[in-house]
């Protein structure tokens, strides 16, 4: 089962940012308790024009697929065309980060801290 600690996810996020064509939105890795108190990490993107955070996390134990969760909003979301375009750019970045994390997870050797070649 791939183990994705906060430290490992921070490394992957740094790699993603270093290889990204655009400056991604605010990305942070939080400590997230997994089963039996394991530090599994949780990736959070804070978007400029979205009044809630976006969370990225593995779909399940041992699953290389990742899911994206949009935090709850307290009100309707109304924006201009320019803000909508910016949000679309940030959502594209979130999708790229999700795909990047999936690729890293698929090639991660559990317990080693290293990535295996595809």
* Mean pLDDT taken over the chain: 82
pLDDT category at 109 given cuts 50, 70, 90 is low
pLDDT tens profile 68-80: 999 888 888 899 9
What pLDDT does 102 receive? 93
Q: Is the pLDDT of residue 117 over 80?
A: no
Long-range contacts of 4-7 (CB under 8 A, 24+ apart): 4/40, 4/41, 4/58, 4/105, 4/108, 5/39, 5/40, 5/41, 6/30, 6/31, 6/32, 6/39, 6/40, 6/41, 7/41
Q: Quick one: average pLDDT of 23-48? A: 77
- Written as one string, the DSSP assignment of 59-113 is SSTT---EEEEEPP-SS-----HHHHHHHHHHHHHHHHHHHHHHHHHHTB-TTT-
pLDDT tens profile 4-27: 788 899 999 999 999 888 766 689
CB burial of 49-70 (b: ≥16 within 10 Å; e: otherwise) equals bbeebbbbbbeeeeebebeeee
Of the candidates 42, 63, 61, 64, the residue with the CA atom closest to the CA atom of residue 53: 42
Of the candidates 16, 8, 11, the residue with the CA atom closest to the CA atom of residue 32: 8
């Amino acid at each position: 089962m791939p183990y994705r600690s906060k430290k490992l996810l921070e490394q992957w996020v740094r790699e993603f940012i270093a290889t990204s064509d655009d400056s991604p939105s605010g990305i942070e890795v939080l400590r997230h308790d997994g089963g039996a108190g394991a530090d599994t990490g949780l990736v959070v993107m804070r978007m400029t024009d979205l009044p809630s955070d976006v969370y990225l996390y593995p779909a399940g134990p041992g699953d290389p697929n990742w899911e994206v969760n949009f935090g709850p909003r307290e009100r309707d979301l109304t924006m201009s065309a320019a803000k909508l375009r910016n949000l679309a750019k940030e959502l594209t970045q979130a999708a790229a980060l999700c795909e990047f994390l999936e690729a890293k997870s698929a090639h991660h050797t559990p317990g080693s801290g290293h990535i295996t070649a595809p």
